[in-house]
Amino acid sequence: WGLFAEIVGRGQNIFLENANLLKKISFPRMCLPIITVLNASVNFAIIFSLFLIFLIIVGFWPSWAIFSIIPILLVQLIFSIGLGMTLGVLNVFFRDVGQFFGIFLQFWFWLTPIVYPVAILPESIKSIIVINPMYPIIQAYQGVLVSGQMPDFITLVYPLILGLGLCALGLSLFRKHVGEMVDEL
């Protein structure tokens, strides 16, 4: 969740935080979201490495299933980048987007079964929680890291398609409004 929140949170403000660069220097503006993702990925790699060391120390290694983290991580990155990029462009023109999404992200954390098992939820809520695109991603991580089981990759199709759609939307918005963004900033 930390990787997702960092990419989306920094992505939604990337153009606002770098307004001076965008106004003064001519450079490929797509570098900004890429730098954000790389920075968040380095932070994640450090934290995840420490977590893996902890798993080795306590004697719990999730077998070969640990390698299935890579495709899960790719789906999460695609979804995060798409959402962050779309919100970043929208936030330039509608500053309330960033304010609202910061609050929404807190609720989204608690609406995703990260710190509680989905089994404790009533059936009516379980049918709603499957709409959450982070739900299958988190379930896949939990299956690998807690149970040592290979994830059901079919469940990751929904967040992958949504993420690819958001990437296309974000890129389209960026290309269409890049000139207006500099004026707005």
Distance CA 92, CA 96 (A): 9
Taken in order 124, 127, 131, 137, the sign of the CA dihedral is positive
Burial class, 57, CB count within 10 angstroms (exposed 0-12 / middle 13-18 / buried 19+): exposed
CB atoms < 10 A from the CB of 54, how many? 10
Please state whether 25 falls in left (phi above 0), alpha (psi between -120 and 50) or beta: beta
Distance CA 12, CA 100 (A): 11
The string of pLDDT tens digits covering residues 52-61 is 888 888 887 7
Distance CA 95, CA 145 (A): 38
| Mean predicted confidence (pLDDT) in 82-111 | 88
Identify which has the larger pLDDT, 119 or 25.
119
The string of pLDDT tens digits covering residues 115-140 is 888 888 888 888 888 889 999 999 99
- Give the pLDDT score at 183: 65
The string of pLDDT tens digits covering residues 138-154 is 999 988 888 888 888 99
Q: Extract the tokens encoding 144.
A: 């690998």
